[in-house]
């Protein structure tokens, strides 16, 4: 009569018995842990990459908004120096790089005596806006510049 233990399994005749049943599947726990850790690291890498991409996109939008506001300042200065200082004008820029920006240009003029001559000064404000406030693609830049015809 052969005695068997309840915790072991017999191998084929003439071979040693197999490992105890309690040890089987021991590598499964570390493998699952490693899999979960690698998945978490992958998700962190994806989130960091997405955040970096959004930062770069926002930086590009800020640079375009600055260029649009500078365009508004130049337009307002040209208008003022040629006798047309409008209180407020909205420009739509058709250029490919500045498309989608709305630029509001305002101008105020003042005069002063410079000896026998009268000189003029203009304060030109330009506000460039793209997107909807509160949304990720929203950007706004405000520039202010003063021009004079005094020589």
Tell me, yes or no, whether 140 lies in a domain: yes
Is residue 22 one of the residues assigned to a domain? no
Is the pLDDT higher at 72 or at 114?
Answer: 72
Residue 37 lies in a domain: yes
Give the domain range for residue 139: 28-148
pTM of the full structure: 0.64
Is residue 81 in a domain? yes
126 phi, psi to nearest 5 deg: -135, 130
Nearest to 127 by CA among 119, 135, 111, 139: 139
Q: Is residue 70 part of a domain?
A: yes
Is 128 within the bounds of a domain?
yes
Q: How many domains does the chain have?
A: 1
Q: Flag whether 115 is in a domain.
A: yes
Mean pLDDT across the stretch 38-48? 86
pLDDT at 131 over 70: yes
Residue 106 has what pLDDT?
Answer: 94
Please check whether residue 126 lies inside any domain of the structure: yes
pLDDT tens per residue, range 64-109? 999 999 999 999 999 888 888 888 889 888 877 788 899 999 999 8
Q: Outline where DSSP puts E strands in 40-116.
A: 89-92, 102-114
For residue 2, what pLDDT band results from cuts at 50, 70 and 90?
Answer: low
Both tokens assigned to 30: 């570390």
Give the integer Cα–Cα distance in Å for 65 and 104. 12
């Amino acid at each position: 009569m052969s005695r068997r233990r309840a915790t072991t399994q017999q191998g084929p005749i003439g071979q040693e018995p197999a490992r105890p049943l309690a040890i089987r599947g021991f590598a499964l726990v570390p493998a699952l842990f490693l899999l979960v850790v690698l998945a978490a690291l992958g998700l962190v890498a994806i989130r960091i990459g997405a955040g970096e991409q959004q930062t770069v996109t926002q930086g590009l939008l800020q640079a375009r908004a600055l260029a649009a506001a500078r365009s508004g300042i130049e337009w307002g200065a040209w208008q003022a120096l040629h006798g047309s200082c409008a209180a407020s004008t909205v420009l739509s820029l058709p250029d490919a790089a500045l498309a989608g920006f709305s630029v509001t240009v305002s101008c105020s003029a003042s005069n002063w005596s410079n000896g026998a001559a009268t000189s003029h000064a203009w304060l030109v404000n330009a506000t460039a806006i793209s997107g909807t406030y509160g949304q990720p693609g929203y950007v706004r830049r405000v520039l202010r510049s003063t021009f004079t015809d005094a020589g």
